[in-house]
Structure 1
Amino acid sequence: MADDPRLRYIGLEKNSSAYQARRVGIAAAKARYVLFLDGDDELARNAAEVTLAKARDSSADVVGFGVEMVMPAGQGTPRFERSLQPKHAELIGEQIVSALFPLGQPAQGHLWKYLFDRELLRDAYRQADESFQFYRANDIPVSFLALSNARRYVSTSNRLYRYFFRRGTSGQSIDTIDQFKFYLSAVDSLESIDDQVPAHAHASYRSARRSLISNLVRDCLERTTGDLRDQCFDLLLSRVGALDIVLASADFCREALPMLVEQFEHLAVSPVQQARSVVVTTSHLKTGGLQGVVAAQAHIMVSEGIDVTVALHEDQDIDHPITPDARNVTIVGNSWAEKIQCFIDICSDVDADAVFDHHLLYNEYWPFYALATRAVGIGTIGWVHNFALRPIFNGSTRTSFIAANLHTLEDTVVLSPTDVAFWTINGVDNAVYLPNPPSPMLIEQGTDSEPKKLRSAPIELVWWGRLQQSTKQVAELLKVASGLRDLGVEFHMSIIGPDGPDMTRAILLREAQRIGLSESVDVLGPLHGKELTSALQHADVCLMTSSIEGFPLTLVEGQALGLPVVMYDIPWLAYLEGNHGVKTVPQNDPSQMALEIAAFVGDPQSYQDTSAAALTSARRLLDVNFGLLYRQLIEKRLDAGHRPPPTPEASQMLLRLSVEYSERTARALAKSRAEAKSLKNKMAAAPFTPLSSKVEVPGIENFQQYRKNRSTFLRRFIAKILPSTWKQANFIAERNAKWNRTALNSIARQQQEIARSLNGLQQATKESAARTAAMERYLRAERDDLRNQ
């Protein structure tokens, strides 16, 4: 090395960290451009030549290049290796740092990935204290500042750096608290430039910092256990704080959620002495029962003197207006962490005492929001807007996820005592029963003063809601109509509501016409405001065919107008208790529903009595002081009646329904398996030519239309008299091969979809079986207790 004037050795008196060694090297560098090489890696022989030429040709002050990962045989991290390769051919000015440190992506500040203009590096070091010594993540403060101030970045896909994975000290196991302290020092490295980061790079800097913190969260999760994990996590918590841990995990380490729930269990929220401000959050305020509840809550709490802000995850048109009662804002951000931080800022701006989250059933990010609000001293109260067994009914695996994370909430509001029983049996100790509030329109109009009297034929029937077959079973209404026709009852049925995911107005109209009911059944689409009220006032009976519901406000709205209700039995509905204005029939029994309607026609006095009972039930709900209930909920002053203990009857119902829904899922699983087997057989027997086509050898004139050159008159003439050529045969073979590939790919895609469905259904079946076993154990314990009394 001494014989080569291009090489210089600079010895340091002591180890002051690689960060300081690079400072010395950069200060001593004479060339305009600088490459870096870690002691345990290698540069390609042509690395300097290729990158220097790239920099000079494009007048760039930063050149990125590809990386080759060298790993022991049998090991591989292809995702990490792909992430190291350049993704941008060219970047200019402020877009450089945002593209190379993208929001929500793991931060990669390796200096060895780039050729730098020497002055960029010197400027970066000039902005830092000369005494800094960083032994972990010591390149990211330099690379971040250099890239933040770069003018032009270009790249080459050539892999010019050989990175020997885990040859050095990085990535080794953690056996002691001192080892974790070493990794924790990465935060010091990046935070050393906190005051030097230019404004345009702030978002990328925050994301990079969260990325570093998430590495430490993952270290706790994957590389420590027991007491050592607790000690390491406490160190991390004391260094960066609970909120930053939640934000980092939300973007980069979501698998750590169970550990966060456990570690943050000690975080207490101060009691609210007098509720003044609440942030209510959900996805949107378009048409829907949940959205109606949000609008009603806003109206009621404002009337109670509580300030309300509605924070929406989606910026969509609003069908349920909440102004002037409350303000609405949209949660914005380019990653989960950015959105959660935005939500925290919203809560801070209005000095929120509590959060009402109405979206628990529909996403998997809500626990991160609940943990984040808890980290800043605000409790979250969650609403479960459907029956507890809804995930099992759907064949999904969400029940376990919900149950595992409800502890992040101050309280979990459910819609019936049966729901309280379910969650209590499953180890959730914060479940509380509250009914859904009536809508602002219903509060304003109240109930009719007198019961309805049945008018002359035809009897007017009405159903309204979203046209959804899977849960609301709208098509059952046509079966009810057929039953009434068979009984000779004169009737007219109005079906009101927007299209759903699996049912539309057009489908219902076609089916009604097919079975000869188009004169008796109208499918009106969505109605709102006065139009809806007018349609309901004109009706005689409200129908409900749902298989599963939480707390359907359509029942209350119909009964407030004096409408008797005929519905499929939903035994857990709290609103049905003592409600004599409802006639229930077994699920999926449209004939019995038709008989109940016919009984009203035959007995007008019975109809009038049922109408009077409907009004009584609606008034009972309207008389509830929901404003006081919400205040007591926030201030933790609800009486014990809202937290009823599980009863044997509720447990038996849950057990029966769990078995019913599990068997429903098992039947769907068996059907899916049969379909998968059928598709596999089709794939195995797939011919080399499409089954549906009889391939005929085309004449030359047909062949020529696929060629670029036009056929002449002579060629067209010859085509009619000559047989096919070998070129035609080749053309036909290629065409058939393409048809075959298309058919096989289609079958393969269908098989993949069914395989995914099978996996989901199998998991749901396992969960349901586990919950059934838990309920059986609970029932046996209850029975033994009764025997011992």
Structure 2
Amino acid sequence: MSTSPLVSLIVLVVHDDQRIGVTLQSCIDQSMHDVEIICVGGSMPADPAFAERRAAKDPRVRIVRSEDSSAPGLRRTGVSAATAPYVLFLEPGDELIGGAAGDAHQQAVAANADIVGFADATGAQDGDAVSERVQKARNTVLHEENIVRSLFPANAGSHGRVTGFLFRTELLRTVYAALPATSSDDAVEVFLACAAAQAFAPLGEPAHLRLSGRGSAEVADASAALSPDLGSLDAVTAIQSIVREWARHSPNPEPLLDGYEALRLSGVARVIARVHRAPEARQTQEIEPLSERVDEIDIIAAASTFAPETLPTLTRLGTRIELGRKPVRNVLLRTNILTTGGVSNVLRTQARVFLDAGYGVTIATHLHGSDESLVPQGATLVEVSGSSRRDRLARWAEVCREHEVDVVIDHRVLYSRDWPGYALAARASGAATIGWLHNFAGRPTYNGTDLHTLLHDNLSALAQLIVLSPLDVAFWKLRGIPRTAFLPNPPSPMLLGSEGDVAPKPAPVGRRLEVVWWGRLEEHTKKVTHLVEVARSLTRLGVDFRLRIIGPDWTDMSAAQLSTLVTRRGLDDVVDVTGPRHGDDLLEAIDSSDIFINTSIIEGYLLTIPEAQSRGLPVVMYDLPWLLPVQDNPGVIAVRQGDANALAAAVAALAADPDRYSALSRASIAAAERATSYDFAELYQQLVSGTLPAEYSPEPTLEDARASLELLVFYAERNAEQSAEAAKSSASGPLRATSAPRSIGQRVEGKLTGIGHRVLALAPGLRPLARRVKHALLRS
């Protein structure tokens, strides 16, 4: 061996572990001879004679005693005893493979690195996020703040294992000098080392390190009073002042502060996960030590960010805020962004109703770019923003307190995955949350997402769930959500402006038939390309007509794309894709039309139906049987879903029958009047006070169960068709074309297990239909 070793291999010798022999032998067998092997143990190390025999045979092996037998204490003692410029920690059962020490040292010297990460360590613990990021950074040398930014990024889980790195010895001495003498942890040491380092280099193939799968949190004094997770959290909390001081002297402190927050909250999340896994009867007791250490917003933010599966447990452990428990003075309406879209229009009308009834109204958004001119006079617009989820949740709770919010109406429940955390944060601020679902319950099935599971698991965080139809109420009650009711959407300005001002339309006799469609040009739910097929069918039927398609571009379809399809089908003379129209221009187009046509495959309320009927237009549409605006509505003709030829035939037949047309026009006006007859001021007052009449929350019937299952079959099959088409267009072979849809279907099948069991309990005779659901989902 040369005068001085190049790497100190520090082996932790623990009193209850007999695997030290494997680890020590792997150090002795290293191809790099210039190492020292420091065996650090407490007062009673395992099999001291074994280590002593090795030391007698190999002068590179030294035995060092430590008064502190915890893993951090052993590491600190080992670094103090090290004489090499680099150190590498090993725990009982870990093995250095081949030339690991030499390769790591070579990489450190070549990159002038303070830390070398073993990107190919095998046997690392599940959830070791830092090890995963080292793996991804195989060929990337990082410098200064980019080390923390990459290995401990904001809003990402952070737990480093100290045995996965080669460290510059002086770097660790700096870290240990800053650390409290009695508090440390693997993740803390790795984090501070990364924060103090100037350069980091990963060590890739071939494999260099085989870890035992046992973390340092377990290589600790068995008499420790705290659980390992709470002890780790205390160690992270203990360095907060150090991090703030280092950040104060840093030219770019954000990565350090963000990384520390991620480290802290992921530690909180591990404690929450332990509580979540505990028997339910012990969970309240288990969470008390955590509640004594961190505030409720930290707990909610940690769970929302790193352990969302634990949110139902936090919901159960807290106290539900019931509607009606106190008078409601202030309401907060929550959405992504305030625009002219459908959800925003509903929210704005709700705001006006609440304002007119004397409530204070706050509108909270989460995205930049809201149109402030759309805020009703008297309402307050706030944007809930922040660089991290914790910051946004804290800001949310602050808004609830500042505006003395009693009830939150959340319009994002179907459009975001973070709403459960906001419901819990509102609860922590004393506000109940009402969730508003803006589409039919089958939408997640049609989309092929896991949103049903998220909703089912977390809807109990809400004081009330509001849906848009009685069948939706049945669906969610069958899924075990009893606090579900339906309410109609409030009328749009066009609908209100048409009250008492419209006469029935004259039948289109002896002239060209004018057909109109308006909405956003979305193919996924509104199936706007079906309009082109309807036009082709009308042409074949010899109908003299013009079809106007009005609306803005959407993510999956544009006016230009649709116009190209029209041209390809040779329909330029009869189909006019006009783009968006507003105000009087839109009214002029509607009033000069004879029939409103609708091709949607799924909707929640579809205000365009009562809007069209308020101008006297009969409606011809694909069947949406749950839809409230079409219930008991003789101004609507519905045909089988997706049958463009049947839709065209219904339009042609109606245009050829003047008496029937006139009857439907009169029925449309009457239906529109019913749509505006609701007393929304009274309904919303009843909603926030928890006194909605029972008629808005009907109990499921056998027919409801049957209809729900039939519709779930339909949407599962439509999802399968879409997935297969997408796979065919992107895959080079038939195997790829069929694998993705089946995966989606299997996920959806799992989501519907709960409703299936409840339906079969209600009606065992539906088992054949339930089997159809399962088979359809598996085909998808």
Q: Note if 1:188 corresponds to 2:234.
A: yes
Indicate if the aligned counterparts of 1:291 and 1:320 stay in contact, CA closer than 8 A: no
99-108 vs 159-168, which moves further: 159-168
Alignment CA distance shift 1:580-1:213 (3 Å): same
Instruction: Tell me what 2:743 maps to.
Output: 759
| In 2: Cα distance, 1:341 partner to 1:29 partner | 46
1:101 is aligned, of 149, 152, 163, to 152
Alignment CA distance shift 1:29-1:764 (3 Å): closer
Q: Note if 1:212 corresponds to 2:212.
A: no
CA drift of 1:290 comes to 2.7
Taking structure 1 as the reference length, what is the TM-score of the superposition? 0.73
Alignment CA distance shift 1:181-1:649 (3 Å): same
CA drift of 1:214 comes to 1.9
Indicate if the aligned counterparts of 2:400 and 2:429 stay in contact, CA closer than 8 A: no
Deviations 1:640-667, CA, capped at 9 Å, x for gaps: 2221122333333224333444555667
Q: Note if 1:91 corresponds to 2:75.
A: no
Q: Note if 1:570 corresponds to 2:615.
A: no
Instruction: Tell me what 1:725 maps to.
Output: none
Quick one: which amino acid aligns to residue 155 of structure 1? Answer: F
Instruction: Tell me what 1:165 maps to.
Output: 212
In angstroms, what is the RMSD of aligned CA positions? 4.7
Q: Note if 1:453 corresponds to 2:506.
A: yes
Quick one: which amino acid aligns to residue 107 of structure 1? Answer: S
| In 1: Cα distance, 2:128 partner to 2:238 partner | 32
Deviations 1:556-583, CA, capped at 9 Å, x for gaps: 2112223222223322122223333333
Instruction: Tell me what 2:9 maps to.
Output: none
2:343 is aligned, of 290, 302, 311, to 290
* SS at structure 2 position matched to 1:297: helix
| In 2: Cα distance, 1:770 partner to 1:643 partner | 20
| In 1: Cα distance, 2:299 partner to 2:313 partner | 11
Alignment CA distance shift 1:85-1:179 (3 Å): farther
| In 2: Cα distance, 1:173 partner to 1:653 partner | 59
Deviations 1:59-117, CA, capped at 9 Å, x for gaps: xxx82222488767x9999976444579574534x666555532123334667754345
Residue correspondence of structure 1 range 3-14 to structure 2 within 5 A: none
| In 2: Cα distance, 1:574 partner to 1:623 partner | 14
Indicate if the aligned counterparts of 1:397 and 1:760 stay in contact, CA closer than 8 A: no
Alignment CA distance shift 1:407-1:22 (3 Å): same
Instruction: Tell me what 2:445 maps to.
Output: 392
Instruction: Tell me what 2:702 maps to.
Output: 648
| In 2: Cα distance, 1:483 partner to 1:232 partner | 67
* SS at structure 2 position matched to 1:747: coil
Instruction: Tell me what 1:63 maps to.
Output: 114
Quick one: which amino acid aligns to residue 779 of structure 1? Answer: A
CA drift of 1:553 comes to 0.5
Instruction: Tell me what 1:687 maps to.
Output: none
Deviations 1:402-445, CA, capped at 9 Å, x for gaps: 22322122111110111111111221111110111122454456
Residue correspondence of structure 1 range 332-343 to structure 2 within 5 A: 332-343=385-396
Instruction: Tell me what 1:779 maps to.
Output: 763
| In 1: Cα distance, 2:127 partner to 2:152 partner | 21
Quick one: which amino acid aligns to residue 531 of structure 1? Answer: D
CA drift of 1:447 comes to 5.0
Indicate if the aligned counterparts of 1:567 and 1:583 stay in contact, CA closer than 8 A: yes
| In 1: Cα distance, 2:457 partner to 2:71 partner | 44
Instruction: Tell me what 1:413 maps to.
Output: 466
Alignment CA distance shift 1:664-1:95 (3 Å): closer
Taking structure 2 as the reference length, what is the TM-score of the superposition? 0.74
Deviations 1:236-286, CA, capped at 9 Å, x for gaps: 34543543233223322334445445x436554685633343333333445
* SS at structure 1 position matched to 2:374: coil
Alignment CA distance shift 1:169-1:75 (3 Å): closer
Residue correspondence of structure 1 range 61-460 to structure 2 within 5 A: 63-67=114-118, 81-84=131-134, 89-92=141-144, 98=149, 101-108=152-159, 113=165, 114-115=167-168, 116-117=170-171, 120-121=174-175, 124-125=178-179, 133-134=182-183, 137-138=184-185, 150=196, 153-157=198-202, 164-166=211-213, 170-171=217-218, 181-198=227-244, 200=253, 201-221=256-276, 224-225=278-279, 227=281, 231-257=285-311, 259-261=313-315, 263-264=316-317, 266-268=319-321, 271=324, 273-285=326-338, 288-316=341-369, 321-322=374-375, 324=377, 326-443=379-496, 446-454=499-507, 457-460=511-514
Deviations 1:313-337, CA, capped at 9 Å, x for gaps: 4435759933556454444445544
CA drift of 1:590 comes to 4.8
Indicate if the aligned counterparts of 1:357 and 1:380 stay in contact, CA closer than 8 A: yes
| In 2: Cα distance, 1:463 partner to 1:777 partner | 43
* SS at structure 2 position matched to 1:360: coil
* SS at structure 2 position matched to 1:352: coil
CA drift of 1:536 comes to 1.5
Quick one: which amino acid aligns to residue 215 of structure 1? Answer: R
Alignment CA distance shift 1:45-1:550 (3 Å): closer
CA drift of 1:464 comes to 0.6
CA drift of 1:17 comes to 5.4
| In 2: Cα distance, 1:158 partner to 1:516 partner | 62
Residue correspondence of structure 1 range 413-562 to structure 2 within 5 A: 413-443=466-496, 446-454=499-507, 457-485=511-539, 488-513=542-567, 516-562=570-616
Deviations 1:371-429, CA, capped at 9 Å, x for gaps: 33334433222122111223334454433332232212211111011111111122111
Indicate if the aligned counterparts of 1:277 and 1:353 stay in contact, CA closer than 8 A: yes
* SS at structure 1 position matched to 2:621: strand
- Pick the structure with greater CA Rg: 1
Deviations 1:603-625, CA, capped at 9 Å, x for gaps: 55554443333233223332323
Alignment CA distance shift 1:337-1:447 (3 Å): farther
Alignment CA distance shift 1:540-1:666 (3 Å): closer
Quick one: which amino acid aligns to residue 218 of structure 1? Answer: A
Deviations 1:471-508, CA, capped at 9 Å, x for gaps: 32334434444554455544322111133455443454
Alignment CA distance shift 1:177-1:622 (3 Å): farther
Task: Give the % identical residues.
Answer: 32
Quick one: which amino acid aligns to residue 747 of structure 2? Answer: Q
* SS at structure 2 position matched to 1:644: coil
CA drift of 1:589 comes to 4.9
* SS at structure 1 position matched to 2:471: helix
Instruction: Tell me what 2:51 maps to.
Output: none
Indicate if the aligned counterparts of 2:716 and 2:745 stay in contact, CA closer than 8 A: no
Quick one: which amino acid aligns to residue 182 of structure 2? Answer: Q
425-434 vs 111-120, which moves further: 111-120
Residue correspondence of structure 1 range 649-668 to structure 2 within 5 A: 649-662=703-716, 664=718
Indicate if the aligned counterparts of 2:362 and 2:380 stay in contact, CA closer than 8 A: yes
Indicate if the aligned counterparts of 1:468 and 1:499 stay in contact, CA closer than 8 A: yes
Quick one: which amino acid aligns to residue 263 of structure 2? Answer: A
* SS at structure 1 position matched to 2:490: coil
Aligned length: 692
Indicate if the aligned counterparts of 2:498 and 2:614 stay in contact, CA closer than 8 A: no
| In 2: Cα distance, 1:654 partner to 1:582 partner | 22
| In 2: Cα distance, 1:596 partner to 1:163 partner | 71
